[in-house]
């Protein structure tokens, strides 16, 4: 090695060591971020640097301690291939730090620059109709394309090397809202290869997909098509699983290089979209440190049950607290009617999120862009740079987060009740609803709302998750039941748990084929009964029994009770002749455990009574005790005890009597009861 080269190498090592030493010193001087934070999406690349300080000053005055930056700025970061410009982002992070504001950096791969897609047109995705998507929007990339992944990895590596040890960078968001996929020939070949690895032989695939039906037998892997809506159920499910694995590998392509160049204290996440089911989030989230999602109401007003389910679903991806990476500051721009949420409703929505386990609530976006597709979206600051009316409400939230932060530090959600959620099952029902109004998401919420009123806390977990900590596990619409999940549920019941199966459960195997046993398949012996037949309903059917009189709408399953220990809970009234007088819900004790099957789609009052019965027989009690209808209770537990967050979503003022005197964290003092106006919030600690 010549002396000059040796000298350059020595200098490079010296600079690297010096940079690491400086980062370590800075980290020691950097205060920890607040335990509960208010944040916003900031786009410094859209504004002159002379404006940055004014924006950050307004953020600081609003109690904002976190900004997400960079996720759409690829053209600014790499204006030409291999020519990286991150100095401006370094300055943005630094000036944020001067205002006590931490940064989450988004990799910009959801919005590739024009030079990239022009030079490498194969990186543009092809939609299902066969059209190549063009530049001028976002998410126009092909998630399976090797060249795109190579370029995405390179920009992520440059960013990680630059910011991976910056103490004011809390973590990383990979890409943005995974959604659009490609149907190009190369992706199709990758799918066929994926199937070959999964099934091994065509004989195995043909047998498991029952391809003798309609002469669908496959004789060569290249004959397998992509189908997304109407096709062989095994093929439909396999494509969704391939998409999930492909998003996971797309993500891991960037994740690995970020991890290799960043401090372990920096988390890695991606922002998902709540109820969105384009892929299996349990698969995609496996490699991440933190779950986060984008919480939008759109048109109308917050539905605490549907929105609460999405929070709990997200928390269940990693089994720990999560972030709301984006939420609306009043209104959006993409709904049919982009109404603004009521005054006070956004504050209630923020505490609703924290109650479900969010440690950060971040608004999209800070300031109105002067142009672009989302000019009309809600903000905290207008295009003129001055606060909009919502800014004052955000400021109140920021002040309250700061006040309640010490009490909530280190707390998390714990539940006695779990609802099982399965993307396989949601997809399977959606492809073959049998009743056009049978929405699997609506079915889940129909159980979730009443059960949450009973328990005041629910976990949403996948069917193979550990269940021993729960007194009650409810599985509405668990249509696809794998052998592993069946074994998990059987063990749960035999060890003393109470399992409740909802309508359409345990009909399919893991390849989306009908099980040879009647529902609930491998759980039938445990139940001491089965589903004799299912009926899509044109008109509601009367039901009566332990849960009181009511109706079954959309769907009814005729059950039989074959064991002397199996109890009939509800029966059908006069209907189509087949259902008349037949069991609609049955239950059976199994040692210290219990298994229940509900074959009717219960209406509101009957489901409320059913949820109360489930709680009573399972020993589930509300965390804070009885509260008025419309008041939500969210317990968060920590080493110092429990903190209760209360939010009034009813349309009138409510008074909540407390079981014992509690400390009012926001207002101060010890309280035996609290008054909550409409959208009112209380944070209480023992």
Catalytic residue numbers read 177, 326
Q: What are phi and psi of 37, to 5 degrees?
A: -125, 145
- Kindly compute the dihedral angle of the four CA atoms of residues 560, 566, 569, 575, in this order, to the nearest 10 degrees: 10
DSSP string, 414-446: --SEEEE--HHHHHHHHHT-SSTT--HHHHHHH
DSSP string, 99-138: TT-EEEEEP-TTS--HHHHHH-GGGB-B-TTSPBP-SSSS
**Residue 554 DSSP SS3:** strand
Q: What are phi and psi of 585, to 5 degrees?
A: -150, 135
Indicate the angle between helix axes 423-431 and 233-260, nearest 10 degrees: 140
Residue the block writes with tokens 């600014």: 76
Q: Residue 238: which of 175, 291, 188 has the closest Cα?
A: 188
What would the two tokens of residue 401 be?
């987060």
Residue the block writes with tokens 């009443």: 450
- Kindly compute the dihedral angle of the four CA atoms of residues 623, 628, 632, 636, in this order, to the nearest 10 degrees: -30
What angle (nearest 5°) sits at the alpha carbon of residue 31, between those of residues 396 and 316?
65
Indicate the angle between helix axes 345-355 and 304-318, nearest 10 degrees: 40
Q: Residue 76: which of 61, 60, 100, 92 has the closest Cα?
A: 92
Distance CA 388, CA 524 (A): 59
Contact yes or no for 542/573 (Cβ under 8 A)? yes
Distance CA 621, CA 644 (A): 15
Three-state secondary structure string covering 553-621: EEEEEEEEECCCCEEEEEEECCCCCCCCCCEEEEEEEECCEEEEEECEEECHHHHHHHHHHHHHHHCCC
What would the two tokens of residue 592 be?
């210290």
Length of the chain: 686
What H or E segment, with its residue span, contains residue 404?
helix 390-408
Local structure of residue 34 (DSSP, 8 states)? P
**Residue 199 DSSP SS3:** helix
Omega cis (within 30) before 487: no
Local structure of residue 339 (DSSP, 8 states)? P
Contact yes or no for 352/323 (Cβ under 8 A)? no
Q: Is the dihedral of CA 462, 465, 471, 477 positive or negative?
A: positive
């Amino acid at each position: 090695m010549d002396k000059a080269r040796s000298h350059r190498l020595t200098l490079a090592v010296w600079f690297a060591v010096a940079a690491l030493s400086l980062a370590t010193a800075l980290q020691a001087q950097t205060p920890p971020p607040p335990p509960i934070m208010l944040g916003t999406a900031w786009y410094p690349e859209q504004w002159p640097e002379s404006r940055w300080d004014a924006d950050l000053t307004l953020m600081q005055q609003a109690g904002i301690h976190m900004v997400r930056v960079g996720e759409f700025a690829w053209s600014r970061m790499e204006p030409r291939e291999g020519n990286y410009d991150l100095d401006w982002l370094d300055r943005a992070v630094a000036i944020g730090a001067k205002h006590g504001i931490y940064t989450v950096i988004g990799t910009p791969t959801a919005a590739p620059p024009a030079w990239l897609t022009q030079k490498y047109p194969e990186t543009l995705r092809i939609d299902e109709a066969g059209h190549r998507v063009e530049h001028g929007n976002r998410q126009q990339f092909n998630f399976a394309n090797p060249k795109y992944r190579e370029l995405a990895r390179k920009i992520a590596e440059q960013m990680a090397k630059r910011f991976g040890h910056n103490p004011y960078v809390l973590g990383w968001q990979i890409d943005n809202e995974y959604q659009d996929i490609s149907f190009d020939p190369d992706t199709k070949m990758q799918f066929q290869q994926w199937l070959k690895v999964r099934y091994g032989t065509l004989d195995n695939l043909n047998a498991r997909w029952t391809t003798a039906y309609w002469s669908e037998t496959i004789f060569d892997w290249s004959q397998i098509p992509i189908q997304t809506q109407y096709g062989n159920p095994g093929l439909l499910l396999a494509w969704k699983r391939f998409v999930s694995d492909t998003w996971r590998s797309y993500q891991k392509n960037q994740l690995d290089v970020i991890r290799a160049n960043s401090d372990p204290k920096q988390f890695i996440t991606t922002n998902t979209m709540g109820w969105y089911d384009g892929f299996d989030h349990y698969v995609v989230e496996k490699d991440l440190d933190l779950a986060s999602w984008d919480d939008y109401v759109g048109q109308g007003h917050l539905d605490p049950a549907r929105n609460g389910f999405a929070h709990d679903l997200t928390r269940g991806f990693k089994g720990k607290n999560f972030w709301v990476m984006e939420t609306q500051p009043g209104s959006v721009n993409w709904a049919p009617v982009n109404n603004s949420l009521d005054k006070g409703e956004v504050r209630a929505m923020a505490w609703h999120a924290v109650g479900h386990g969010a440690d950060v609530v971040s608004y999209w976006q800070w300031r109105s862009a002067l142009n672009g597709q989302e000019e009309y979206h809600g903000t905290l600051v207008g295009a003129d740079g001055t606060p909009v009316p919502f800014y004052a409400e955000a400021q109140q939230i920021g002040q309250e987060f700061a006040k309640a932060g010490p009490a909530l530090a280190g707390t998390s959600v714990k539940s006695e009740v779990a609802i099982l959620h399965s993307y396989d099952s949601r997809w399977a029902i959606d492809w073959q609803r049998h009743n056009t109004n049978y929405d699997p998401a609506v079915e889940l919420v129909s159980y979730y709302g009443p059960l949450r009123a009973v328990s005041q806390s629910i976990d949403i977990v996948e069917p193979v998750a550990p269940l021993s900590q729960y007194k009650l596990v409810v599985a509405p619409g668990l249509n696809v039941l794998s052998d592993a999940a069946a074994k998990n549920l059987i063990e749960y019941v035999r060890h003393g748990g109470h399992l409740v199966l909802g309508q359409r459960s345990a009909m399919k195997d893991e390849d989306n084929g009908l099980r040879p046993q009647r529902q609930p398949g491998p759980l039938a012996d445990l139940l001491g009964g089965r589903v004799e037949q299912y009926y899509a309903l044109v008109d509601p059917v009367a039901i009566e029994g332990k849960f009181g009189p009511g109706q079954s709408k959309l769907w009814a399953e005729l059950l039989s009770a074959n064991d002397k220990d199996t109890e009939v809970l509800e029966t059908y009234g006069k209907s189509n002749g087949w259902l008349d007088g037949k069991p609609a819900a049955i239950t059976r004790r199994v040692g210290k455990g219990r298994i229940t099957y509900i074959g009717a789609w219960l209406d509101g009052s009957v489901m409320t009574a059913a949820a109360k019965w489930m709680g009573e027989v399972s020993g589930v009690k509300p965390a804070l005790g009885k509260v008025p209808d419309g008041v939500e209770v969210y317990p968060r537990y920590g080493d110092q005890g429990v903190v209760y967050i209360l939010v009034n979503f009813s349309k009138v003022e409510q008074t909540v009597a407390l079981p014992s005197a509690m400390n009012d964290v926001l207002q101060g003092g010890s309280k035996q009861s609290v008054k909550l106006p409409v959208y009112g919030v209380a944070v209480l600690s023992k």
